[in-house]
């Protein structure tokens, strides 16, 4: 039995049925379908389409169906094309032909869109919770490493010293944007299609405002033709998840780098590493590589969903049935992987010495330029002077720190100082060598958002209040 | 001259320079670069890094540079690697070596991200204006066609009658979601990277809160390492534009269909149609096809940008230079095409008769089922009875409207009524033929979001208040 | 037990194990894993690493494992991380510690790549068979409709008459390109990674040429570091399947259009249509809409896989584990949907009259221009004259066919003939009305690839020989 | 003047014209348009549609137009909608109204597809040349580093020693697959649409076989409806370029890693590095980062083009105009970047000592297991023993090389040898320490495709013959 065979002389071909059926994945919407149907039965009663008694019997039948699903007792039938058919079929078995009144004034078009939105509204907390869990780990690690120094990189070249806390927090804020996006999405998910019928609206005097409220929606959809085809929320969800994937891939790329023998900043715990079937010495950061790889997959889910939507005419087309699988896949991927990554981060060993040792004096070159700026030399000139110092030092196979004062002073006798604006002795003084202390460097980065411990403490405070406040 | 050659013994190879240079596209950020630099000079003065006089001279030099750009008098030099280099080079020509103090405590990393965000903040109104323009056209057309009937389709099969106004408005709401998304994006664009330096924060006591306010940002970025690599806003912008593209593609697909000889609902004006180089009779909806095609391109811009971000390590990598071209391309595409589509819609001829004629009695089958529901027959049973009626009518080559009352009544004598629950004469009465009037059908769709003229009037009112209110 | 825990003090965390495990999808490679292992055992024997007897016992153990899989008797263990672990574990249960010699000189890196390639080589015939099946349907339908006339469209506007046979065949050739691409892909799939070890090559004197031959590969991979990370073949497969999806979406878009009430060219059989849960009269082309929608999904699988590959360093990274799911999904999608679409096409009703009636005289406008060309008028001028005729006829509400001879002749008295080059009476003669016969129009398209029945017959002949020859 | 305005009462709106026009990018097809038109004029003459004299005059006019383009003298007119219009307009200016005969039996639909394919056929050598150039660099570098040792990585963890030559060559083979794909594509590009008219075929007796030969095509397209809409070749080209991008991104990712301070294997020359505007010491591998970033962009071009094709109905739709920009962009990106990368590789400094020093004894763990295998211990057991050795050594803070013989022998007294199968003294002998010589390790990888110098020499020989032979 399908919901629509009155007009047909012949049954749907078996292979076509299989292709057409969505029960394999939309059964995940069972609770939402039951919930939406209960609300619909109540709305029909309020509209005078059902008697109170009819509505009551339908609702208690639906509750029984819902319970069967919850308990894992619901038996799918071979003819259950989709979850809506399955629920209505079972309702009929439980309460008889009265079940046939439930679908009055409703279409699967508005029903499935409602179910899917309900699912997303109800599932968001789990996804957001997984993000928060990872954020909490990052904040905890930041607190533990407030004054742990590490080399900061740009272009993967050593750039300037930062604190490990600052680096952990940099990932916190990226994830925070993901949460903001999901929060913004909510207002577009929480629009109720129910009561839009197949496309034209329902033919019965349903109070959609009340119905929306009952189901936890913020408002009924304002246009029925738009409402039944609107899958923006699925695409936007997939954009949000692709961006989470990108953020995890950045974290992962770093962990993969920082656990190499060459960097050696972190060592993963055995419980979150894997080995090699061939090479006995190997210890691999598989979980982080998987996270990075899955970012690609998540990008594909987004691209695919948007491509599916492209070029469709108004209202419902069956193409839209492709909406659920990618959303479920993205959701499952992220809610599975984030807690594991969080635990892997928490259990890894941090090698403070390796990080400190990796901060070579050249990384304070900007501080040296800033030193010259404070002596009144324009930054562009200062940058050039220090650049020359770097070159000279390299030629002598010395570090900047070991370059003698004389060599520094010599830099100012060249053409760059042709106007003899500056006296080398006043500019390069013995105190310049103090700038090679990375802690000093860090402490100057004291503006909002900078890497100085004071500044980072404020960051942590703000991050914690975000975690608490929500 | 580049901004960084002090340390190098050899110049960048010519081909490498060309590949590396971004001036070809980032010159579009000239005004933003000047604006950001002016604010930076002021901030340096407030921080005591520049004297008031220095700051004043730098600012007035920058204003002169900005004016040159505005007037089209700025001459790019072959050595201008990017807009930042070009502006600083020109500033030096105008005010001498003092210009070398401007870059103090700033990096191109925070500078370019700031410029790009400023551009987006300043450009959003144009994009939103183009959307609003198209929305206004849709509302105007809806008002003009409040009671114009047209067949509504699902699966592109005739489904139920709707009003043309309702159809026009269905596109209004999709575009409204696009505007909401762009509005939500704003809060993530309006975060200021300036003062984050290369990655670690600035080494000077800059008041970033004040700087942000001055530049129109809502807040300074909370973490310097995140701030200089964060291109979420570009990706999110490209998601927004891809979705606008998808919405235009839906509108376009319909216009292409509705202007076919077979549908014949609309005829484009000559000013917004094109012909064929070979076939003299052709009149083609090229502009709408282009809109549909460009949706594909916009999807690609999104996919490409997100793929570029995937797997990058922390902070700035040159890969990020790929961020601007797709954003500019998406922006230009949409701000160009939407006004043209709006004019094309406004000037097209609407064929009321063709649309009305396309509403065949079968489209009121659901109304007939609803009629039976009102007689107490459960909807599922009613659906089945009408399905049978459709089949019987098709076998007799009759429309539902021409099927005699007897034939309807016969439907109730079959097995489906085995329990003799209903008397055929009570169920199918002569008044049933009234339901084949499409106006009647439409008027029953009176709940919020339905296609009844009353309901649509409310929709229009709300749409207009949205257009005004923003 | 994992294959690598010797070096670890702690077991892999349970959630991490689940995330890391690939058995859920790579169990599909069971037969290929067994086959590859058998060949490896033989190769080890030939290399003197195993004795003949050892090799024999291992091989017969592996054959037993393969049989268990074939019969569905293989019981997965909770510790089976992937199919390779599962097979080796079971082998150990069957033949004892000798099983531990099988993995000598081999890594899972070369093993999994070998298994996956074997799977693709063995599965290609099924996919190609599904394409051929659809092609055969199209050729059959072309043969049945060799002289059935239909309007040809460009920009979805009526353009020129064609035959239905020609239209069916247009899809044949697109699918033929898909087959060509899959055939070209074969040479890049049939490169054997086995014997490349983890990355550096195997440490034992394996004859890889012989091994490749035994396993049906065309050659051993020429570079071990490349071989173990090369997933080009998966990406290329996904490109091939995305293009098949695009071709099906074109066919589907047409079927959706041609089965509308407005076009009415085709009617799907009941066995390949679906109805509506709400609207009793509906008959929807769901299967074709699904095909169109799945094209979007297939595009996403491609984009995701390529994005996953982007930016990976040399040799094996765990990211590559994301390679199989999209390939299996694309394969299953297409091998399922193509046979159903073929049957749906075969069983649909073709409405010759509707198609013929849709060929209006304006569609012969190009033929009219060609008529003028044969009278010596340059085509550009002829095109212009007929364009004018179209406009004049539209103003008089006449078709081109009903426009009187005088009106045609008047066109030549205007400025376009200012030099009086042509005598209107010589140019527009009474025989011009013959060109409005669509059969005449079609018969002139007699060059290779044109729509004339003669030309199409040749096309069919060639198509059939392609179907047979392969 | 457009090519089609006879039928229109009103001109195309100015903004609509701009949107619709393709001249900005399709002017790149000027030479192909002229070439195709010359061949068409000749074909029309052979078909008796033009006299020999007419054909001659048209052809010499077209040659003049072609020369103007070549010399940069061609002046575009504001009304030139596309390159076809521009060429025909100019031809008219040069030879008068006879030019109007050129378009006989031809449509822009077949013309533009022909031009675009000609362009691709003619441009392929440049792209392939750029790939070959990079391949030649890789082979040269391999020859220079035949016995240079470097650590090989999997999961970015040190795995086994390889030679630098082997690593360079691993990129050679990936690029070779790209060339194979482009070569395979050729047969699908070299199919001629010309003579397919607008969709139905040409109405004149054109010998398309001869025409195809003249233009360098392999065959005329077999079906006109397919031919004018087939853009598979553009999509396939974009797939090929996306894969080249992926391969460059792998190379780039490695270069970025290997030029870090931490790895320190390579140092880029100053001519192929860039500095920082803020940090004087920085030397960045921008060019390689750009290559990696552009891989993302290339992926987007592919995804966008395929999404554009999705869901289009048969024959020509204006959406197809989106085909050229991405193809040109991908072509320009790759032909620009590959020569620069090649030069950057050639000029970088290779740090043999750093690479050798990075080969720690643990990387010979597999060799140690193989040593045990040769003593008769099953590999799985040997792997486990060595894994234990790794753990024991780590606990003692020793390398495997420094672990005393006794400690090794102790491993065999544990439970893993409970059956006392092996005598520790026979298994672990003093010669085991020889396996820690990386050269020994490499020399065992002597099968085809392995990293032993002998094997790599054969690889180089084959690579060179590929470079020569093509």
ipTM score = 0.96
The answer to whether residues B217 and B307 touch, using CB atoms and an 8 Å cutoff, is no
CA dihedral over C436, C442, C443, C447, signed as positive or negative: positive
Residue B10 placed within a domain: yes
Which positions 21-60 of A are in contact with B (Cβ < 8 Å)?
A: 49
Closest residue by Cα to residue B279 from C148, D110, C433:
D110
Q: What's the pLDDT score for residue B363?
A: 95
In this structure, the answer to whether residues C353 and C410 fall within a common structural domain is no
Write down which residue in B328, B357, B386 finishes a domain. B357
Q: What's the pLDDT score for residue A424?
A: 85
Mind telling me how many Å the CA of B192 is from chain A's nearest CA?
10
pLDDT, tens only, A106-118: 999 999 999 999 9
Mind telling me how many Å the CA of C461 is from chain B's nearest CA?
30
Cα of B223 vs its chain's centroid, Å: 31
Mind telling me how many Å the CA of C300 is from chain B's nearest CA?
10
Which residue do the tokens 């396993």 mark?
Answer: C215
A378 and B220: CB-CB below 8 Å?
no
CA dihedral over D65, D66, D69, D70, signed as positive or negative: negative
A-chain residues near B221 (CB < 8 A): 173, 449
Q: How many residues does chain C have?
A: 470
C400 and B281: CB-CB below 8 Å?
yes
Instruction: Provide the phi-psi class of B2: left if phi over 0, else alpha when psi is between -120 and 50, else beta.
Output: beta
Residue D247 placed within a domain: yes
D-chain residues near B248 (CB < 8 A): none
B8 and D275: CB-CB below 8 Å?
yes
Q: What's the pLDDT score for residue A277?
A: 79
Best residue in B223, B240, B256 to probe A by mutation, most A CBs within 10 Å? B223
Q: How many residues does chain A have?
A: 470
pLDDT, tens only, C364-423: 999 999 999 999 999 999 999 999 999 999 899 999 999 999 999 999 876 555 556 788
pLDDT exceeds 70 at position C195: yes
List all chains that touch chain A, counting a touch as 3 or more CB pairs closer than 8 Å.
B, C, D
Q: What's the pLDDT score for residue D7?
A: 77
Catalytic residue among C97, C155, C277, C418: C155
pLDDT exceeds 70 at position D418: no
* pLDDT-based confidence at residue D419 (cuts at 50, 70, 90): low
Residue A260 placed within a domain: yes
For residue C140, the surrounding DSSP H or E stretch is helix C108-144
| C16 vs A8, A322, A340: nearest CB | A340
| A158 vs D261, D307, D383: nearest CB | D261
D-chain residues near B336 (CB < 8 A): 15, 18-19
Residue D149 placed within a domain: yes
User: A263 in contact with D at a CB cutoff of 8 Å?
Assistant: yes
A290 and C318: CB-CB below 8 Å?
yes
Query: Maximum Cα–Cα distance for chain C, whole Å?
Result: 102
Which residue do the tokens 């990384």 mark?
Answer: A363
By CA distance, what is D263's nearest residue in A? A262
State the average pLDDT over residues D66-84: 95
* pLDDT-based confidence at residue B266 (cuts at 50, 70, 90): very high
D262 and A262: CB-CB below 8 Å?
yes
Residue A453 placed within a domain: no
Per the DSSP assignment, residues forming a β-bridge with B219 are B191
State the average pLDDT over residues D13-38: 95
* pLDDT-based confidence at residue B278 (cuts at 50, 70, 90): confident
B20 and D290: CB-CB below 8 Å?
yes
pLDDT, tens only, B327-359: 999 999 999 999 999 999 999 999 999 999 999
Q: What's the pLDDT score for residue D420?
A: 64
pLDDT exceeds 80 at position D2: no
- Cβ pairs bridging A and D (under 8 Å): 128
pLDDT, tens only, C310-360: 999 999 999 999 999 999 999 999 999 999 999 999 999 999 999 999 999
- Output the domain CATH number for residue C145: 1.20.200.10
Q: What's the pLDDT score for residue B221?
A: 98
Closest residue by Cα to residue B323 from B113, B27, B171:
B113
Angle at D312 between CA D309 and CA D313, to 5 degrees: 145
List all chains that touch chain D, counting a touch as 3 or more CB pairs closer than 8 Å.
A, B, C
State the average pLDDT over residues B90-109: 96
3-state secondary structure of D331: helix
Which positions 271-330 of D are in contact with A (Cβ < 8 Å)?
A: 275-286, 289, 303, 306-307, 310-312
D378 and C97: CB-CB below 8 Å?
yes
For residue D79, the surrounding DSSP H or E stretch is none
In this structure, the answer to whether residues A324 and A190 fall within a common structural domain is yes
Percent of chain B with pLDDT over 70: 97
In this structure, the answer to whether residues D229 and D309 fall within a common structural domain is yes
By CA distance, what is D194's nearest residue in C? C449
In this structure, the answer to whether residues C296 and C308 fall within a common structural domain is yes
| A155 vs D285, D310, D311: nearest CB | D285
User: C391 in contact with B at a CB cutoff of 8 Å?
Assistant: no
CA dihedral over C398, C400, C402, C404, signed as positive or negative: positive
Q: What's the pLDDT score for residue C415?
A: 56
Residue C467 placed within a domain: no
Mind telling me how many Å the CA of A332 is from chain B's nearest CA?
20
B8 and D276: CB-CB below 8 Å?
no
User: B92 in contact with D at a CB cutoff of 8 Å?
Assistant: no
Q: Quote the tokens at residue C100.
A: 């531990």
pLDDT, tens only, C125-179: 999 999 999 999 999 999 999 999 999 999 999 999 999 999 999 999 999 999 9
| A103 vs B220, B230, B380: nearest CB | B380
| C322 vs A294, A321, A343: nearest CB | A294
In this structure, the answer to whether residues C289 and C314 fall within a common structural domain is yes
Q: What's the pLDDT score for residue A420?
A: 64
In this structure, the answer to whether residues D140 and D268 fall within a common structural domain is yes
A154 and D282: CB-CB below 8 Å?
yes
Write down which residue in B64, B86, B104 finishes a domain. B104
The answer to whether residues B443 and B452 touch, using CB atoms and an 8 Å cutoff, is yes
- As annotated, the active-site residues of D are 155, 276
Residue C449 placed within a domain: no
Domain range spanning residue A414? 361-436
Write down which residue in C323, C340, C357 finishes a domain. C357
A-chain residues near D280 (CB < 8 A): 365-366, 368-369, 383-384, 386-387, 389-390
Angle at C262 between CA C257 and CA C267, to 5 degrees: 60
C276 is catalytic: yes
Mean pLDDT of chain C: 95
pLDDT, tens only, C82-112: 999 999 999 999 999 999 999 999 999 999 9
Mean pLDDT of chain D: 95
| D156 vs A154, A260, A365: nearest CB | A260
* pLDDT-based confidence at residue C307 (cuts at 50, 70, 90): very high
For residue C404, the surrounding DSSP H or E stretch is none
By CA distance, what is A302's nearest residue in D? D303
D103 and C383: CB-CB below 8 Å?
yes
Which residues, at least 6 apart from C341, have a Cβ–Cβ distance to it below 8 Å? Answer: C134, C248, C251, C252, C287, C288, C291
In this structure, the answer to whether residues D399 and D271 fall within a common structural domain is no
pLDDT exceeds 90 at position B314: yes
Instruction: Provide the phi-psi class of A166: left if phi over 0, else alpha when psi is between -120 and 50, else beta.
Output: alpha
Catalytic residue among A77, A147, A269, A276: A276
Mind telling me how many Å the CA of B170 is from chain A's nearest CA?
5
Query: Which of A331-340, B1-10, C257-266 comes out lowest in average pLDDT?
Result: B1-10
Which stretches in chain A have pLDDT values below 50?
none
In this structure, the answer to whether residues C164 and C308 fall within a common structural domain is yes
- As annotated, the active-site residues of B are 155, 276
Best residue in A37, A248, A319 to probe C by mutation, most C CBs within 10 Å? A319
- Output the domain CATH number for residue D392: 1.10.40.30
The answer to whether residues D242 and C239 touch, using CB atoms and an 8 Å cutoff, is no
* pLDDT-based confidence at residue D252 (cuts at 50, 70, 90): very high
Q: What's the pLDDT score for residue D8?
A: 83
B387 and A171: CB-CB below 8 Å?
no
A199 and B4: CB-CB below 8 Å?
no
- The alpha carbons of chain C give a radius of gyration, in whole angstroms, of 31
| D155 vs A286, A358, A387: nearest CB | A286
Q: What's the pLDDT score for residue C135?
A: 98
In this structure, the answer to whether residues A240 and A371 fall within a common structural domain is no
Q: What's the domain count of chain A?
A: 3
Mind telling me how many Å the CA of A422 is from chain B's nearest CA?
14
A278 and C103: CB-CB below 8 Å?
yes
Best residue in B293, B323, B324 to probe D by mutation, most D CBs within 10 Å? B293
In this structure, the answer to whether residues B342 and B387 fall within a common structural domain is no
In this structure, the answer to whether residues A98 and A244 fall within a common structural domain is no
Distance CA A406, CA A409 (A): 5
pLDDT, tens only, B18-64: 999 999 999 999 999 999 999 999 999 999 999 999 999 999 999 99
- Output the domain CATH number for residue B62: 1.10.275.10
D-chain residues near C199 (CB < 8 A): 152-154, 159-160, 162
Q: Quote the tokens at residue C160.
A: 């020129």
Q: Quote the tokens at residue A96.
A: 């008889």
pTM of model > 0.95: yes
In this structure, the answer to whether residues B296 and B383 fall within a common structural domain is no
């Amino acid at each position: 039995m399908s919901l629509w065979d009155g007009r047909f002389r012949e049954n749907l071909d078996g292979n076509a049925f299989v292709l057409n059926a969505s029960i394999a994945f939309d059964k995940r919407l069972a609770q939402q379908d039951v919930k939406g149907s209960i609300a619909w039965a109540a709305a029909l009663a309020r509209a005078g389409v059902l008697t109170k008694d009819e509505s009551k019997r339908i609702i208690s039948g639906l509750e029984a169906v819902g319970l069967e699903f919850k308990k894992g007792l619901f038996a799918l039938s071979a003819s259950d094309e989709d979850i809506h058919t399955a629920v209505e079929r079972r309702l009929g078995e439980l309460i008889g032909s009265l079940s046939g009144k439930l679908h009055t004034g409703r279409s699967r078009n508005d029903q499935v869109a409602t179910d899917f939105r309900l699912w997303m509204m109800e599932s968001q907390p789990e996804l957001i919770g997984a993000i928060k869990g990872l954020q909490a780990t990052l904040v905890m690690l930041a607190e533990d490493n407030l004054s742990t120094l590490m080399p900061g990189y740009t272009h993967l070249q050593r750039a300037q010293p930062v604190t490990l806390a600052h680096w952990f927090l940099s990932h916190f804020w990226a994830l925070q944007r993901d949460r903001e996006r999901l929060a913004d999405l909510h207002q577009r998910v929480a629009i109720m299609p129910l009561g839009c019928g197949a496309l034209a609206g329902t033919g019965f005097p349903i109070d959609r405002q009340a119905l929306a409220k009952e189901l936890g929606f913020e408002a009924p959809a304002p246009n029925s033709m738009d409402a039944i085809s609107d899958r923006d929320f699925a695409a936007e969800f997939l954009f949000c998840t692709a961006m989470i994937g990108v953020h995890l891939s950045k974290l992962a790329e770093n962990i993969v780098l920082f656990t190499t023998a060459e960097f050696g900043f972190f060592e993963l715990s055995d419980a979150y590493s894997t080995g090699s079937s061939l090479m006995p010495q190997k210890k691999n950061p598989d979980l982080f590589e998987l996270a990075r790889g899955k970012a690609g997959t998540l990008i594909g889910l987004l691209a695919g969903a948007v491509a599916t939507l492209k070029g469709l005419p108004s209202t419902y087309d069956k193409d839209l049935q492709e909406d659920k699988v990618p959303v479920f896949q993205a959701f499952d991927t992220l809610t599975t992987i984030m807690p594991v990554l969080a635990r892997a981060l928490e259990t890894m060993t941090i090698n403070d010495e390796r990080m400190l040792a990796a901060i070579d004096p050249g990384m304070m070159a900007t501080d040296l330029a800033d030193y010259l700026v404070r002596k009144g030399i324009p930054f562009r000139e200062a940058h050039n002077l220090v650049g020359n110092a770097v070159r000279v030092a390299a030629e002598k196979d010395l570090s900047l720190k070991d370059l003698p004062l004389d060599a520094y002073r010599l830099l100012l006798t060249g053409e760059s100082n042709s106007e003899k604006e500056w006296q080398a002795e006043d500019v390069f003084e013995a105190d310049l060598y103090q700038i090679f202390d990375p802690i000093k460097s860090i402490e100057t980065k004291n503006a909002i958002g900078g890497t100085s411990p004071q500044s980072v403490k404020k960051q942590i405070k703000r991050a914690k209040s975000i975690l608490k406040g929500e």
